[in-house]
Amino acid sequence: MAGPDARALPVHPADLALIDEAVEHVRTARTGDVVRRLMPGLAAAERAALVRHCALTHAAVLVSAPSVETLCATLRDRGLDAGKAVPSVIVRRRLAERYGRTPEGLRVDIVRVPVPGPVSVPAVAPAERAVEIFVLEAPPGAGLDAVAVRERAARHESHLALEVTEPDDVIMAGLRTTLVERGAMVPDGGGYNAREDATALYFRTGTGASTASGAERLELHARGDHRQALTAHLAAAAGQDPARRLLELCTGAWTTQALATAVRLGLPDALPTGAEPAVDAAELAARTGTDRDGTGRLLRYLASLDVVAADGDRYRLGPLGSVLRSDAPHSMAPLAELYGGPFYASFGELDHAVRTGEEAFKYLYGESHFTLFAARPELDVLFQRTMAASAAMFGPVAAAVAASGARLVVDVGGCDGELLARVLAAGPDLRGVLLEREHVLDSARARLTEAGVVDRCTLVAGDFTESVPPGGDVYLLSRILHDWDDDACLRILRRCADAMPQGAELLIVERLLPQDGRPSLATAWDLHMLCNVGGRERTEEHYGRLLAESGLGLCSVAPLPLDGFLLRARKAGGASAAL
């Protein structure tokens, strides 16, 4: 027997099936199960926290009908209690944008159908469960048949909704962060519905995961006007637009030069901080000897990056920009100068590095950056200062060595002595040896003197690819290995292994390439190594293989600030030290 002719029915059978599916899912689903399916990467504690603050409140589907009254009558015939229809603001706007129409040319209403939830689920939701039906009115001759067909197939508006039980600015910000950063959800629009006095933030899965209802979108629904959360969410969603996002990426070089220019002109040091009165472009230009108009335009751009804080046409240094001051602890100003200088120029030859595997810096300048910088003291000093900019990752290393019971620490390639100074300061009974190139030792001696530990340190000029001072209890290799290819790394590690007595340990500070796709600074630095140094960032497994080939065994890996890691190794077969 032939089925009913869809053209003869007031509501398409596929739309009715979609409603039935949503009703069944809302009737049986549990909040925790929905969270687990949509965000499988969340830890159990994170899922539990979400469930404490949210509850599954409804599933939403979009259907078409000649009129909302026709749909409501059809629902009542099927035993579903259709509530009063209210206009939809957000979905109407989304449909208009999707199909190039004006919102005024579309009518979209929301019909809410109450659905009893699972008996075993506590009634923690602020409202009963329901299916929320977006009804696109498509009367004959309205020219919306194609839209209805496409929406029926794509199910763009199908989603599940979590109601925030006690929303406020802090809770909303925390939930947004958890969903995006930990749950890998992607911002997908939102809005405030004044008729309902409710804020909706939409997300879609970043992995293609879906619930049993087929929904790959999630709504975070909160009673009230939460404009702060909505503004941040819409800004993040705008960043997902491919053309806009690509423009932002293509202009990344402008950011590099803006930061470097600000540092070279002394703007971070000249801008007021904290409670000091903000200044306008004219006053700052007078302080720095720059053009008023150009200074104002640079300040406006830096404000868009949150490097400076704008108060109308007056500016002060923001928290992000404060680390660019020359007197800031671990100042990032040297990094801004270096990355906006020689390394910026060499990145212009990145295509050569990718085509050939050769470092672009040597191709551009005719020699490696180590050789060039050694011949140009102003660049070498700048490079050494950049090493101190990442010193935030050294604190846990110094504490670990100081607590180890070691007596002699050998810092292999210790640059200006920043790490060794911290280690010796943390362990008053420790002595240190710093191995570096001859021309770097003066800077190291000055830093160790400043730290008050130079009397406990021996400075040795040498090449760590040839030999390493023997007899240490702990050896340090901080951000050395990523500068070299695997063959050179093996030479360095073998020189360390040769120098290490039984029981000694080797501590390696590096960034590790993630193996699970998570964001990491190591990914960008890996390209930097290819372009400017000829080395590479590596995974934990890669370092483990190099250590094993050198007669060393990887014992543990611990995270450090700035996406760094501390890798602890010892001689294979040797007794473990106390670290």
Tokens of 574: 């040797």
Q: Single out the residue of 423, 408, 421 nearest to residue 471, CA to CA.
A: 408
Tokens of 277: 């009165």
Residue with tokens 């005719």: 366
Tokens of 449: 């003197």
Q: Which residues contact 314 (CB under 8 A, 6 or more apart)?
A: 278, 279, 280
| Residues, the chain | 579
In angstroms, the CA 441 to CA 451 distance is 15
Tokens of 230: 């909505």
Give 221-281 as a 3 state SS string: EEECCCHHHHHHHHHHHHCCCHHHHHHHHHCHHHHHHHHHHHHHCCHHHHCCCCCCCCEEH
Tokens of 355: 């085509």
CA 497 vs CA 73, 278, 474: distances in Å? 82, 56, 11
Tokens of 160: 């599940």
Work out the number of other CB atoms within 10 angstroms of the CB of residue 230: 19
Q: Which residues pair with 476 in a beta bridge?
A: 411, 507
- Contact present, 51 and 32 (Cβ < 8 Å): yes
Which DSSP state fits 157?
A: T
In angstroms, the CA 284 to CA 282 distance is 6
Tokens of 287: 């302080």
Q: Which residues are catalytic?
A: 482
Q: Which residues contact 162 (CB under 8 A, 6 or more apart)?
A: 31, 34, 35, 50, 54, 55, 56, 57, 218, 219, 220, 221
Q: How far apart are the first and last CA of the chain?
A: 79
Distance of CA 405 to the CA centre of its chain: 37
Long-range (24+ apart) CB contacts under 8 A made by 512-515 are: 512/537, 512/538, 512/539, 512/540, 512/543, 512/557, 512/565, 513/537, 513/538, 513/539, 513/542, 514/539, 515/539, 515/540, 515/541
